[in-house]
Structure 1
Amino acid sequence: MNILKPADHQIPFGDADAIFDGFSKDDVIELAYASGDFMLAIDAHGIIVDAAVNAADHSFVYQWIGQKWSETVGPDSVSKIEQMLARDRDARLEWRQVNHPDEDGEIPVRYQVIKPGNNGFTLAIGRDLRTIAILQQRLLKTQQSMERDYLNLRQTETRYRLLFDNISYPVLIAESESRLIQQANRACHNLMGAAPGSLDKKDVLALVHEADHDGLIAYFGAAAVNGATEPFTTRLNDRTGTVKISASPFRQSGKQYLLLNIDDGTHDVPAKSSDQYVLDAVEQMPDAFVLTDDKQDIIVANKAFAELVQTSSVEQILGQSLYRFVGRPEVDLGLLKKQLRDHQNVRNFSSVVNDLSGGEEPVEISAIKIERDKPLYGYSIRSVGRRERDLPRAIADGPRSVDQLTELVGRKPLKDIVRESTDLIERMCIEAALVHTSDNRASAAEILGLSRQSLYSKLHRHGLGNLTGKGPTH
């Protein structure tokens, strides 16, 4: 069997004749398939005379048959083709990458050329590099994205450090379990009379009077479990007077930390009592207020809402769905949620509130969507029933315009709205006829196609004109 002479960098089989003895043509083709995705048979003139592919997605190579191999590649790859075809049979085997033009761009292919004998043919084994090119592009995009994220992270970190250090009141961050200080701002170092950075990795307890250690440990434990609580009053070492420490827990990288604000009485520290003021105002406000989660389950409600739905306490409605109380089930609130998604807030949305006794009260709802990890929805609900009852009632207590008719959707059944729509159209036609005839009712009845008696009956029903003591007008 004729075996190629190995190049200097190749280490051949020790007994190649024995291993390759008996190889058929099919075996050689299988071996070539294992080396690449397709093979090209090229004659002495550089023309592709035949091709074999390893998979159906490489059938595009058949369109090259009959063309010069150098004409199937881009201009920058022609010299590589010529060099591979001119390679001596005993020269070192090398893989060369070329690019084939295609409708969707370029197809990168890596070739190795073998000249098996003196039959005048050259065998080019090709490996399709498109998958590798896609992976390289993804890798490049990922690297660029990581670089951008890293730059943004550095910029964010710089802004955070500037903000943290320039806060006027003392702030420090400590690990909840070990109480070791992770970071303290400039104001905190100044308060302790410490050099910048010297407080890092110190126990928070080392800053306060020994007699207050147990109390501060208990306070940190309560803050870690229940969130922010009332400030803890303590004494700092080497200082006269007391300070107030407020702890707010947060989690990062699987660990819990505490953000500690220290109020020494000389700085404006954000007071936690301000949150309580807001809650007190919401609780005492005359309009009903409800805060719900994304499923519209009630999280917070004030006394005014409890009174509106006629329940004895707020606790009875916490956890219940707001769909139970507002408008038509899953209709009014569905419309509200859609508008909140589009506009973030809604004003004066007309609806009704259904109380626990089966009654209903017309209301106006203003709502806002609060963006969080899971969105929250706040609803301010104002009863308009008293306002409507205090308005002067018309003789015919019905809608006076199309807009008022559309506001009835959700408050009345469709058949009632259709009936009132008919009455509205009838009244508008009668009013137009009276205007057209200068209030001549006989003529108005004639152009409406009604008898005088029917017109007077409809005038009386719609409350149009003062009919007392009047007879027909001619």
Structure 2
Amino acid sequence: MNILKPADHRVPFGDADAIFDGFSKDDVIELAYASGDFMLAIDEAGKIVDVAANTADHSFVYKWVGQAWPDTVSAESVGKIEQMLERDSETAREWRQVNHPSKDGEIPVRYKVIQPDNNGYILAIGRDLRTVAMLQQRLLKTQQSMERDYLNLRQTETRYRLLFDNISYPVLIIESESRLIQQANRAFHNIMGAAPGTLDRKNILDLVTADDHDKLITYFGAAAVSAAAEPVLARLVGRTGTVKLSASPFRQSGKQFLLIDIDDGTHDVPGKSSDQYVLDAVEQMPDAFVLTDEKHGIIVANKAFAELVQTASVEHLLGQSLNRYIGRPDVDLGLLKKQLRDHRHVRNFSTVVNDLSGGEEPVEISAIMIERDEPLYGYSIRGVGRRERDLPHSIGDSPRSVDQLTELVGRKPLKDIVRESTDLIERMCIEAALVHTSDNRASAAEILGLSRQSLYSKLHRHGLGNLSGKDPTH
């Protein structure tokens, strides 16, 4: 039996001579094919003198014949090749990965070198790692995607917890079947005189007087089936008077839970019916509506706004900046916010909405600021593109006064406004010349420094006068 060196982790056959006795050259080559995708025969000078490939996918190795092996790899791999070419080197026996440059990018290959004692050639068995590299890239992208999703989930959870804890009225979530409190906000802990977090996993019945247990059990059972169940009155342990409990069912991870609002008479608890009516009205109104935070992040949007910006659903808009869609980034909304801070509301602010396909739609915005610790901004957006398209071209296409020109700021680029300003000045000068010459067009052309043909062209473009039936000399 062979005796292994301490640093050698390979375990050979017990009787290698008997097992390999009678192996032909073809058998040895077949064994080498089974170990890798291709083989390189390298002479003592390090030059590739012959190659053998396992499949047609590795025909590129035939281009290396006649080249020095180190010349076929990238600069950072040259050192590894030189180490593998050293005879009697401990590292020459190890599998080493190198990169071969190609027109399609670098090809990663893992090599194992065999150096026969009685032969001047070195045999390098190579394994193509492109498939492995592709899998590693896919794994890396998947990990990055999971990390982004996890980060978004953490951010969403943080926002939810912040919102849940800062609601002024008492709220808690219980598991419907066990009635154990899963989470209670700060306001509920305060009315119970408990430290934050100490009520989690407690049975809600333990916080209510015994006389009200049966009534609450019946109510929770009804609320789990229908959100229309009538709220009930109960007395909390350690408090005088009654509180009203309103439960809303929801399911998560295969279990049913109840979100419970508690009206103790000292906090403003939103009325469910009126709130729902308002939400339904906002959702179904034909004009677009958006509610944002101080940094223009979208909190609420209705279907009309989603259709206006041509996004797939309202959910895709939540958390995005309204700056992306309204007018010029950081300009139009900045002007709106300044006016809202000064006057608390704005009516008929003219701008454009930019949709996801790159188009623009002229709109008018009415906005209001809701004063809180962190103010909220509501925007009602009405498209005026159809109204402008329906106007007669002779009236609506070009401004007729300086006031109309200034109204274009924010709705059109500066170069378009300048061009329309030029048209306005030209029109006013021609009208003044016609008045000065008592509509004598020949004289008007002369004082304007224009040829008659040029004046007639401009009269036609601006729609001035009735050109038909006129004497060209007048």
- Max Rg structure: 1
Q: CA-to-partner distance for each residue in 1:129-155, whole Å, 9 max, x for gaps?
A: 122222222333333333333333333
- In the alignment, which of 304, 308, 324 is matched to residue 343 of structure 1? 308
Secondary structure at the aligned position of 1:215 is classed as: helix
1:288-327 to 2 correspondence within 5 Å? none
**What's the counterpart of residue 265 of structure 1?**
265
1:35-54 to 2 correspondence within 5 Å? 35-54=35-54
Q: Contact conserved, 2:306 with 2:313, CA < 8 A, in 1?
A: no
**What's the counterpart of residue 369 of structure 2?**
none
Q: Is the aligned partner of 1:139 residue 2:139?
A: yes
Change (3 A) 1:90 1:16: farther
1:124 partner amino acid? A
User: Residues of 1 paired with 2:37 and 2:102: CA distance?
Assistant: 17
1:5-16 to 2 correspondence within 5 Å? 8-16=8-16
Change (3 A) 1:117 1:267: same
User: Residues of 2 paired with 1:156 and 1:279: CA distance?
Assistant: 22
1:56-71 to 2 correspondence within 5 Å? 56-71=56-71
Unaligned runs of 5+ in 1: 283-288, 292-337, 346-367, 374-401, 405-434, 439-474
Q: How many angstroms does 1:32 deviate by?
A: 0.6
Q: How many angstroms does 1:437 deviate by?
A: 9.9
Secondary structure at the aligned position of 2:202 is classed as: coil
2:24 partner amino acid? S
Q: Contact conserved, 1:74 with 1:100, CA < 8 A, in 2?
A: yes
Q: How many angstroms does 1:43 deviate by?
A: 1.6
Change (3 A) 1:10 1:155: same
**What's the counterpart of residue 30 of structure 1?**
30
Change (3 A) 1:62 1:152: same
Q: CA-to-partner distance for each residue in 1:385-421, whole Å, 9 max, x for gaps?
A: xxxxxxxxxxxxxxxxx989xxxxxxxxxxxxxxxxx
Identical aligned residues as a percent: 73
Secondary structure at the aligned position of 1:12 is classed as: coil
User: Residues of 1 paired with 2:146 and 2:81: CA distance?
Assistant: 38
Q: How many angstroms does 1:436 deviate by?
A: 11
User: Residues of 2 paired with 1:70 and 1:370: CA distance?
Assistant: 57
Q: How many angstroms does 1:229 deviate by?
A: 3.3
User: Residues of 2 paired with 1:185 and 1:173: CA distance?
Assistant: 9
Q: CA-to-partner distance for each residue in 1:116-169, whole Å, 9 max, x for gaps?
A: 343321110011112222222233333333333333333333332222221110
Secondary structure at the aligned position of 1:102 is classed as: coil
Report the RMSD for the aligned CA atoms in angstroms. 3.5
Q: How many angstroms does 1:182 deviate by?
A: 0.8
2:308 partner amino acid? H
User: Residues of 2 paired with 1:370 and 1:159: CA distance?
Assistant: 21
Q: Contact conserved, 1:228 with 1:249, CA < 8 A, in 2?
A: no
User: Residues of 1 paired with 2:163 and 2:45: CA distance?
Assistant: 74
Q: How many angstroms does 1:235 deviate by?
A: 1.8
2:44 partner amino acid? A
1:48 partner amino acid? I
Q: Is the aligned partner of 1:153 residue 2:118?
A: no
Q: Is the aligned partner of 1:249 residue 2:249?
A: yes
User: Residues of 1 paired with 2:156 and 2:89: CA distance?
Assistant: 61
Q: How many angstroms does 1:341 deviate by?
A: 6.8
User: Residues of 1 paired with 2:23 and 2:32: CA distance?
Assistant: 13
Q: Contact conserved, 1:234 with 1:242, CA < 8 A, in 2?
A: yes
Q: Contact conserved, 1:172 with 1:259, CA < 8 A, in 2?
A: yes
Change (3 A) 1:77 1:281: closer
2:29 partner amino acid? I
Q: How many angstroms does 1:281 deviate by?
A: 8.8
Change (3 A) 1:63 1:224: same
2:48 partner amino acid? I
Q: CA-to-partner distance for each residue in 1:326-380, whole Å, 9 max, x for gaps?
A: xxxxxxxxxxxx99974279xxxxxxxxxxxxxxxxxxxxxx997479xxxxxxx
Q: How many angstroms does 1:72 deviate by?
A: 0.5
1:164 partner amino acid? F
1:149 partner amino acid? D
1:244 partner amino acid? K
Secondary structure at the aligned position of 1:105 is classed as: coil
**What's the counterpart of residue 106 of structure 1?**
106
**What's the counterpart of residue 388 of structure 1?**
none
**What's the counterpart of residue 84 of structure 1?**
84
Q: CA-to-partner distance for each residue in 1:183-213, whole Å, 9 max, x for gaps?
A: 1111101111222222111111112222222
Q: How many angstroms does 1:44 deviate by?
A: 2.0
Q: Contact conserved, 1:340 with 1:369, CA < 8 A, in 2?
A: no
Change (3 A) 1:134 1:372: closer
Q: How many angstroms does 1:254 deviate by?
A: 1.9
Change (3 A) 1:198 1:141: same
Q: Is the aligned partner of 1:197 residue 2:193?
A: no
User: Residues of 1 paired with 2:108 and 2:261: CA distance?
Assistant: 61
Change (3 A) 1:372 1:152: closer
Q: CA-to-partner distance for each residue in 1:215-250, whole Å, 9 max, x for gaps?
A: 212221222222353322222222222111111112
User: Residues of 1 paired with 2:143 and 2:467: CA distance?
Assistant: 79
1:302-451 to 2 correspondence within 5 Å? 342-343=307-308, 371=314
1:235-246 to 2 correspondence within 5 Å? 235-246=235-246
User: Residues of 2 paired with 1:30 and 1:278: CA distance?
Assistant: 78
1:150 partner amino acid? Y
User: Residues of 2 paired with 1:48 and 1:280: CA distance?
Assistant: 77
Q: Which moved more, 1:20-29 or 1:79-88?
A: 79-88
User: Residues of 2 paired with 1:188 and 1:157: CA distance?
Assistant: 20
Q: How many angstroms does 1:275 deviate by?
A: 4.5
**What's the counterpart of residue 455 of structure 2?**
none
Secondary structure at the aligned position of 2:40 is classed as: strand
1:178 partner amino acid? S
1:343 partner amino acid? L
User: Residues of 1 paired with 2:215 and 2:115: CA distance?
Assistant: 88
Change (3 A) 1:369 1:25: closer
Q: Contact conserved, 1:39 with 1:124, CA < 8 A, in 2?
A: yes
Secondary structure at the aligned position of 1:158 is classed as: helix
1:218 partner amino acid? T
Q: Contact conserved, 1:248 with 1:258, CA < 8 A, in 2?
A: yes
Aligned length: 303
Secondary structure at the aligned position of 1:50 is classed as: strand
Change (3 A) 1:164 1:340: closer
Unaligned runs of 5+ in 2: 287-302, 317-388, 392-465, 470-474
